[in-house]
Chain A
Amino acid sequence: MENSLDPAPSLLEVRGISKSFAAVRALQEVDFTLRAGEIHALLGENGAGKSTLIKVITGVFPRDAGLVRLGGEEVAPRSAKAALEAGIATVYQEVNLLPNLSVAQNLFLDRQPMRFGIVREGEMRRRAKVLLADFGLDIDVAAPLGNYSVAIQHVTAIARAVDLSARVLILDEPTASLDRHEVEILFGIMRQLAKRGIGIVFVSHFLDQVYEISDRITVLRNGRLVGERETASLPRLELIRMMLGRELAETTGARTATSDRLPREVCASFQNYGKAGYVAPFNLELRHGEVVGLAGLLGSGRTETARLVFGAERADGGQAMVAGASIRLQSPRDGVRHGFGYCPEERKTDGIVAELTVRENIVLALQAKRGLHRPLSRREQDEIAKRYVKMLDIRPPDPERPVGLLSGGNQQKALLARWLATSPRLLVLDEPTRGIDVGAHAEIIRLIRELCDDGLALLVISSELDEIVTYSDRVIVLRDRTHVEELSGEAIDVTNILGAIAADGAAMQEARA
């Protein structure tokens, strides 16, 4: 930029990348440009396509369309190893090294200095020491890597990648498990590497860090490119809008009909409820016939709140009450017993039992609630399954089909049916519309409203702010694992939510310093 004759050369150019998994379009014509010597943040919520883009660039996934140029030459690596040889190195959040081998062995794995077919341990250690000294590390390189902190393991992984003559370094959530001091060290190393002309892609959901370290930002949403900006000239609010805000649907504000009903009966309440290192203690009251939305960025404590409320995670303080009486809430079983239900975000791993039929998946929670000795007869199961398949329009309408063969939207409906069959008083839905096609999306939103009108209490998490605005009676905003704001009535709109999420990070940083 200093030299107008020679605009910073593009090191890595990604053009028109598309990638689908079965029917799901994970990436659609995404462009991405990385310059030499810059630190470029790649941002987006869960499912935005960040990981897929990285995996396509590094050859882990084959791409459906588009091209990748490195230093002007087209590259098409077929594997992470081939990408590494081409000069694109990736360090993942879970460091892909071998904790039982020494630091030196990890650094020179696959390319140990040899003489007469024997590894020259001494030479390897000497070179490892020199290499790490470059990164400001002076540690015993003969000790197993696993003995060291995650931060040092990260630096080792980066040192290895850079020493393999990487020109592009992709860091996927490198700071997620580091403390503040370790983050400083890592950032120092990143700046130093950038100065050497290496292009660094920085994936993170910590916006403060993004503003601290990155030169430019690319935002993805739902598998599409939203935009590429200079970090210095992008206000935080605008960035969050890019990440979360869809064009506001015309449905906004349609949900006033039920809001001015008489004060509703409290269904469950939580006082000072929380868990250290998980979610800060919060007060939460959930009422019958009311939808409470949980808004916030990825990692802000939304899912954590949901899991505490349902009983999937144990609180270490505070009180949970149902109908005015304090309850024990230590396990999902407790939650189910008290009439709670929970549709988790990760449908495949935490929700469905793929090989069992739609019928069996629907009756599972009800059966668990009734206990072993009161089995639902086959006829009762058939009736329940048939009723919900019809009511929620699950397709294909065959209760005997393994649920794993259904589309994402229909799996979600089967999970909803599982909980509705237990006649719950409170339903917690974590990202109920994620990964669902447009038609099913609208249906699920309609269902949420209907359930609410039937008197259910609902706690709903969504990254789609316009969606939250559409169905919520109250919205709780989270930031840094803390409930920071509660909006209700007229105050619920996308701008206010965005404002609460962004809540002047600059002021917070000052306070911290």
Chain B
Amino acid sequence: MTALLPRRGLAQILALIVILAVDRVVSPQFFDLRLQDGRLFGSLIDVLDRGTPVALLSLGMVLVIATRGIDLSVGAVMAICGAIAASLADSYSLPVVLAAALGAGLVCGLWNGFLVAVLGMQPIVATLILMVAGRGIAQLITEGRIVTFTSPDLVWLGNGAILGVPVPVVIALGMLILTGAVVRGSALGLLIEATGGNARASELAGVGTRAMILAVYVWCGVCAALAGVIAAADIMGADANNAGLWLELDAILAVVIGGTSLFGGRFSLVLAVLGALIIQTMNTGILLSGYPPEFNLLVKAVVVLAVLLLQSPKLSGFAGIMARLRRANP
């Protein structure tokens, strides 16, 4: 696996380097870092900090997609859990707030997993239900207002720093390590890849495919909950209408950029997070360039296309043929 990783991740790493280089041209201070009040500041830190929600979402999403599923509800789950955290923040201690928010995410994941694994619904339809209903639930929790809070503990979660590194970044890194340890440290990774690769065959080999599918949706819900709490902590409030809006699409994009096929099977956690960073590096670069944000969407589309083309086996086959032709006719 370790020997394979660089080759598998080459397209993504190259893309990130190119985008970073372009950002450097657009904004000469891009790589500058400075320490202020015990926290690092700079565009690079910004990329990591802003990229945290999508990175967290992509951690859950990559597992769901590996089982040949998809979870459209993560944006709505962010809104629900952000709303819960914001509503409770000023009356309860941080552990209680976190437990409530993450618990809600877990329940959302269970619901999705139940629909897909037990009732056998198509994942895209099953999670669409919560995608739509979730925002309504979040609005009910906030009673249609933007709920603000002042609890320093929760604010610290979004804006504090540990050894100079923003807390959200530390959390995302921690979750990456935790997920990696659970998935690759146990047999979960292999069994998820087998389930996504061929569910019928895996079932006949004795794999508990339903349990696998249930587990990945639950984890996806928990990751979304954490992303929702961080997003709320960041702005010191919960906006049920806009929190996590369309982020499910960025998360799916991050997973796809990370080379995991929507047809399930092989997945890479690290590359999915790298995909999230690629997206955020682009976003930040365009903001810094002073171009109108509308460009963001177009540029994003072009870069995504480029990364996917780099991964395409057909294209590399084509490149191989071209190289052979060139050798034959110097």
CB contacts (< 8 Å) of B1 on chain A: these are 378
Interchain CB contact under 8 A, A349 and B191: no
CB contacts (< 8 Å) of B194 on chain A: these are 353, 356, 360, 364
CB contacts (< 8 Å) of B205 on chain A: these are 332, 336, 364-365, 368, 418
Interchain CB contact under 8 A, A375 and B202: no
Flag whether B329 is at the interface (Cβ < 8 A): no
Interchain CB contact under 8 A, B204 and A355: no
Q: How far is the CA of A371 from the CA of B186 in the complex (A)?
A: 9
Flag whether A354 is at the interface (Cβ < 8 A): yes
CB contacts (< 8 Å) of B208 on chain A: these are 333, 368
Task: Please list 6 pairs of residues, one from A and one from B, whose beta carbons are closer than 8 Å in the complex, sorted by A's number.
Answer: A335-B206, A350-B204, A356-B265, A364-B205, A368-B191, A373-B186
**Which of A352, A375, A418 touches B187 (beta carbons < 8 Å)?**
A375
CB contacts (< 8 Å) of A364 on chain B: these are 190-191, 194, 202, 205, 207
Nearest CB in chain B: distance from A419 CB, A: 9
Provided the pairs A360-B190, A367-B187 are in contact, do residues A352 and B201 lie with their beta carbons within 8 angstroms?
Answer: yes
Flag whether A261 is at the interface (Cβ < 8 A): no
Provided the pairs A354-B197, A355-B197, A355-B265 are in contact, do residues A367 and B190 lie with their beta carbons within 8 angstroms?
Answer: yes
Nearest CB in chain A: distance from B159 CB, A: 38
Flag whether B200 is at the interface (Cβ < 8 A): yes
Flag whether B313 is at the interface (Cβ < 8 A): no
Interchain CB contact under 8 A, B206 and A369: yes
* 17 further A-B pairs in the complex, CB-CB below 8 A; given A349-B201, A354-B198: A335-B206, A351-B204, A352-B198, A353-B193, A354-B197, A356-B266, A360-B194, A364-B191, A364-B194, A365-B205, A368-B191, A370-B187, A372-B187, A373-B186, A375-B185, A375-B187, A375-B190
Q: Could you say which of A351, A355, A371 has the most chain B C-beta atoms within 10 Å of its C-beta?
A: A355
Flag whether B143 is at the interface (Cβ < 8 A): no
CB contacts (< 8 Å) of B188 on chain A: these are 372
Q: How far is the CA of A374 from the CA of B186 in the complex (A)?
A: 7
A336-360 vs B, CB cutoff 8 Å, 1 = contact: the mask equals: 1100001010000111111110001
Q: Which of B183-236 contact A (CB under 8 A)?
A: 185-188, 190-191, 193-194, 197-198, 200-208
Q: What is the interface of chain A, defined by CB distance below 8 A to chain B?
A: 310, 312, 332-333, 335-337, 342, 344, 349-356, 360, 363-365, 367-376, 378, 418
Nearest CB in chain A: distance from B80 CB, A: 29
Majority secondary structure, B binding face:
helix
Majority secondary structure, A binding face:
helix
CB contacts (< 8 Å) of B204 on chain A: these are 310, 312, 332, 342, 344, 350-351
Q: What is the interface of chain B, defined by CB distance below 8 A to chain A?
A: 1, 185-188, 190-191, 193-194, 197-198, 200-208, 265-266
Nearest CB in chain B: distance from A363 CB, A: 8
Interchain CB contact under 8 A, B206 and A365: yes
Least CB separation from A312: chain B residue: B204
Least CB separation from B188: chain A residue: A372
Least CB separation from B4: chain A residue: A400
Interchain CB contact under 8 A, A356 and B197: yes
Q: How far is the CA of A310 from the CA of B204 in the complex (A)?
A: 9
CB contacts (< 8 Å) of B207 on chain A: these are 333, 364, 368
Interchain CB contact under 8 A, A372 and B191: yes
CB contacts (< 8 Å) of A349 on chain B: these are 198, 200-201
Interchain CB contact under 8 A, A333 and B206: yes
CB contacts (< 8 Å) of B186 on chain A: these are 372-373, 375
Nearest CB in chain A: distance from B42 CB, A: 39
Nearest CB in chain A: distance from B244 CB, A: 30
Interchain CB contact under 8 A, A353 and B198: yes
Q: How far is the CA of A360 from the CA of B198 in the complex (A)?
A: 13
Q: How far is the CA of A372 from the CA of B205 in the complex (A)?
A: 14
Q: Could you say which of B191, B201, B203, B266 has the most chain A C-beta atoms within 10 Å of its C-beta?
A: B201
Q: Could you say which of A312, A354, A368 has the most chain B C-beta atoms within 10 Å of its C-beta?
A: A368
Q: How far is the CA of A190 from the CA of B266 in the complex (A)?
A: 51
Provided the pairs A333-B208, A336-B206, A356-B265 are in contact, do residues A367 and B201 lie with their beta carbons within 8 angstroms?
Answer: no
Nearest CB in chain B: distance from A208 CB, A: 33
CB contacts (< 8 Å) of A344 on chain B: these are 204
Q: How far is the CA of A352 from the CA of B205 in the complex (A)?
A: 9
- Give the 10 A-B CB pairs with smallest separation, nearest first: A336-B206, A368-B206, A353-B197, A375-B187, A365-B205, A353-B198, A368-B207, A364-B205, A355-B265, A367-B187
Least CB separation from A352: chain B residue: B201
Q: How far is the CA of A112 from the CA of B197 in the complex (A)?
A: 44
Q: Could you say which of B190, B191, B208 has the most chain A C-beta atoms within 10 Å of its C-beta?
A: B190
Q: How far is the CA of A281 from the CA of B206 in the complex (A)?
A: 25
Least CB separation from A333: chain B residue: B206
Least CB separation from A307: chain B residue: B204
CB contacts (< 8 Å) of B203 on chain A: these are 332
Q: Could you say which of A352, A353, A354 has the most chain B C-beta atoms within 10 Å of its C-beta?
A: A353
Nearest CB in chain A: distance from B65 CB, A: 14
Q: How far is the CA of A351 from the CA of B266 in the complex (A)?
A: 18
